[in-house]
Structures are given as structure tokens and as C-alpha cells.
Structure 1
Amino acid sequence: MPSVETYDRTRVVGRRCVQWLLDRLLVAVPALALLIGSVIAISGNRSLVFVPATLFLVTLLVGNLVVDVWVPNHTCGRTPAMRLLGLRIITEWGGAPTLGTYAIRWLLQTVDGFAFGFAGLLVMLLSPRHQRVGDLVARTLVVRVTADAP
């Protein structure tokens, strides 16, 4: 059973939902702009019909990888939206996660995203420390940043 302090610091499910949405928008808006621009650029050229969709999907994949793995690894466990909302990722024992840990969390978003994200939300609501599947496997917590944390 988690300590009361840990439980209180991890009771951020609502913030995590907003954070997830903001981080996805940060990636989706430029990807959508690239999709629209590439459709306009190749209009009339049937041999390049799959280029816009491919660019869009690659941009989404790389963008999410950067936002969810690279950025937190270089900014003390915080995505851009986590910084805005006062959240950060730590290990279960309070340390900084490794790049591999962030990658595990990112890969398991496919499980958490099942049923339009309902699976991850349900697991967060039911787990004692409000962890989604990716957090449980990677042994990480998303906590509210306190005044003494960087």
C-alpha cells in the first residue's frame, strides 16, 4: 500500500488526461498542417497519392516519440504539457527514469489507448497509485511537482 504522501502526489488523473490531450495536440496540429500542405502540393499527380498519408503517419509517430520519450529524458521527466500542468514522471523509488523506461511507457500507450483510451483511464482510476499500464510495467509514477522538486 502506498504512503499517504505518495497517494496524494499521484492523485492527478484529471491533470493527466488534460496533459495527454495537450501533448497529442502539440504533435497532431503540425502533422495535420503537413498533410494538408502535401495534398495541395501533389494535387493532380496520381503517382504520389500515398505520400501525404505516409508523411502524416511518420510525423505522428516521430512526434509522439519525441514528446513522450526524448523530451522527458532531457527535461527531468516532463513533457511540454506536464511542465505546464505541474506534473513529472519519476520511478517508483523516486529517481529519474532512464531512456529505456520512457520507451517502455511509450510503447505501452497502445495498450492504454485500447477502447479510445478507456482502458488506460480505468487502470489509472483503479490502481492504488493511479498508474496506467505503461507506468505499472515501467515502474514509474506521474506525480504533482512540489516546491522542493526541480
Structure 2
Amino acid sequence: MAIISITTTQNIELEYELASLGDRIIASIVDDIIKIAYVVILLMVLGISADSFGEGGIVFFLLLMLPAALYSLLSEVFLNGQSVGKKVMAIKVISLNGNQPTFSQYLIRWIFRLIDLLMFSGLIAVVVVAATKKHQRIGDLVAGTTLVKTKARTGIEQTLYVPTVDTSYIVTYPEVVNLKDSDMQLIKEVMINVRKSGNNILAWQTTEKLENILHVKNQYDDPMNFLYVLLSDYNHLASKEQQ
């Protein structure tokens, strides 16, 4: 099992399990099936030849093909680093700086697909991914990204966006509303890594940073309890806003 350690802009080190070559290949096959299905349906609806549209038929046909051509780019931009194939394989694109990949990073990955996947029937991508320590194809190397697994490894993965059912729930740290969704996602990732590695120092470091940011005091002996309460408070307050 290949692991990658990433230090975020908040100086918090996180570990991710890298997507394997097999994960990438199967995800790519699923995505290719979707794109082929789109093209086949398009041809069935419009006819086998674009010439049936007249002189401007070729241009019009090429415009209709754009969704298939841009499928990977648009999927990753709007689906948080995933396509349908990546969702099926529970993998996603992340930036090596610990942040959400930018549009330019997604764009670079997409542009280099021409080299990685289309030239030599994807052989280049297979060789480069297998040879690089972080399992990166050329597009990833240039963009500063890689693919990691998203499958839950502990029992807390569903706590962030699941509404709190208990209406009698008492919020311990109302100051948590000053944090953003991305901050809470980072807290969750820290908890996952602590559960996995047993590195409680990481939990203490995160707790100290949050105490300074929120101007609150940890009331618990175990910093993981503090982080869990913050997640629960945030979840409860967010669910109330949606009601």
C-alpha cells in the first residue's frame, strides 16, 4: 500500500493512500464507456454522417462532441476532483500542497491527457505512473497533483455533513461558525490520520491551532474528543441553518 504525506498550508501533515495503477485504469475505462455511449447515442439521434446538416454540419457536429472531449476536465472541476469513473473507484485528484486543486491544475492535467493517455494507447501513462513514487502521470507531474483513495478508514467519516437529528443537542463551541467547510474537512482528515497512525501529537497540534483561531479552550483530556465535538457542533449549527 503506497502512502503519500502532504504538509498543508496550515503546516499540518496528512497521509493519504495513493490510488493504484489498477484504480486509475478501471476508472479510465468507466469514463471511456460513458464517453463512447454519449457519442453512440449522438450518432443514432443525428445520423451516421454529420454531412446531413449541410455545409455547416461538420462544425455543428464537432460542437456537439465537445462534452465528450471536455468530460474529464469538467468532471474534475465540478465534482471535487472526481469523474464518474473515479467515484466508482473511490479515488480523487488532490494537489500536492494540501489544497483543493485549482482550475489551472485541472486544465493542465486535461491538456496532458493527449500525451499521457491518447499517445501510444496510454502506454506512456502506465509506465510513468508505475515508475513515479507518487503514482503520477505526466499531467500530474506538471500540474503538481496526484490521485488518492477516498474510501473511509474510520468511523468518523460521515460526521461532517450528516444533519444532527437530536434537537436537544447543546453546542459546546458556538465559535465554530467562524470556520469554513474546508477547515472542517481538514479537521476530519486530521482525525482520520490520527486514528490510522496513532500519532496523537498531530491531534494536539491541531487542537492548539484551533484554540488560537477560535479563542476557545479545550475542555477534554483527549484532543480527539475536542476535534470530534467541534465537528458535531459545526454539523448541528449547519443543519439548523438549512432548516
* TM-score, normalising length: structure 1: 0.79
2:22 maps to 1:14: yes
Q: 1:114 aligns with which of 119, 123, 131?
A: 119
Q: CA deviation at 1:81?
A: 1.2
Equivalent position SS for 1:71: helix
Question: Is the contact between residue 19 and residue 82 of structure 1 (CA under 8 Å) also seen in structure 2?
Answer: yes
Question: Is the contact between residue 27 and residue 89 of structure 2 (CA under 8 Å) also seen in structure 1?
Answer: yes
Q: Which has the larger radius of gyration?
A: 2
Q: 1:77: which partner in 2? A: 81
2:102 maps to 1:104: no
Q: CA deviation at 1:52?
A: 6.9
Q: Percent identity?
A: 23
Higher relative contact order (CA 8 A, sep 6+): 1
Q: 2:3: which partner in 1? A: 5
* 1:49-100 deviation digits (Å, cap 9, x = unpaired): 8837962x544443231x3122222222111111111100000122210111
Q: 1:129: which partner in 2? A: 134
User: Please, which runs of 5 or more residues in structure 2 have no aligned partner?
Assistant: 6-15, 158-188, 190-243
* TM-score, normalising length: structure 2: 0.51
Bigger shift: residues 30-39 or 90-99: 30-39
Q: CA deviation at 1:13?
A: 0.7
Q: How large is the Cα RMSD of the aligned pairs?
A: 2.8
